[in-house]
Every structure is written in C-alpha cells, then in structure tokens.
Amino acid sequence: MTVRAKFTVGSVTRYADGCTGITAYPVYAGSPENEAFFNATPSGKLELHIARGKPAADLFVPGAVIYVDITPA
C-alpha cells in the first residue's frame, strides 16, 4: 500500500558545507485536491537534508508544491 501526501515547500536552506535543508508543510487550500489532502493530513512538517552536490536539491524551491509517496520498504 502506498500513501500519497501533498506538501508546499516552505523554506530551502543552502549550508556552507554544500548541503541543502528543506522544510515543507501539508497543503490546505487552493484547489479541491488540496482540500482533500488537508482533510487527510491537517497538520505536520517534513524536513529533509540533502547531501552536497546531489541534483535532487535543485527540485526544491520555496512555494513549490510536491507529492510525497510513502511505501513500506
């Protein structure tokens, strides 16, 4: 089973050592889809730290909306 969440990137921090920190929050309004996600996940916070030099860091910009898929490993 996979669970999908939808987040808005709140902040992106580029650290001196080249790593990137990302903070994102669940969506809450703006579309029927966002409201449906809000009803399932009304609050929370996602924090990621990406190692230096990894291209994944370029995917995150403040205000971007992202999906997070959670699948058991």
Alpha helical stretches, state H, 1-73: 32-40
C-alpha radius of gyration, the chain, whole number: 13
Beta carbons of 46 and 23 less than 8 angstroms apart: yes
What sign does the CA torsion over 66, 69, 70, 73 have?
Answer: negative
Instruction: Find, among 64, 73, 66, the residue nearest to 5 by Cα.
Output: 66
Q: What is the pLDDT along the chain (73 residues), one digit of tens a residue?
A: 988 899 999 999 999 999 999 999 999 888 898 888 888 877 899 999 999 888 888 889 999 999 999 999 9
Each domain of the chain, given as residue ranges in start order, spans 3-70
Query: Which pTM does this prediction carry?
Result: 0.83
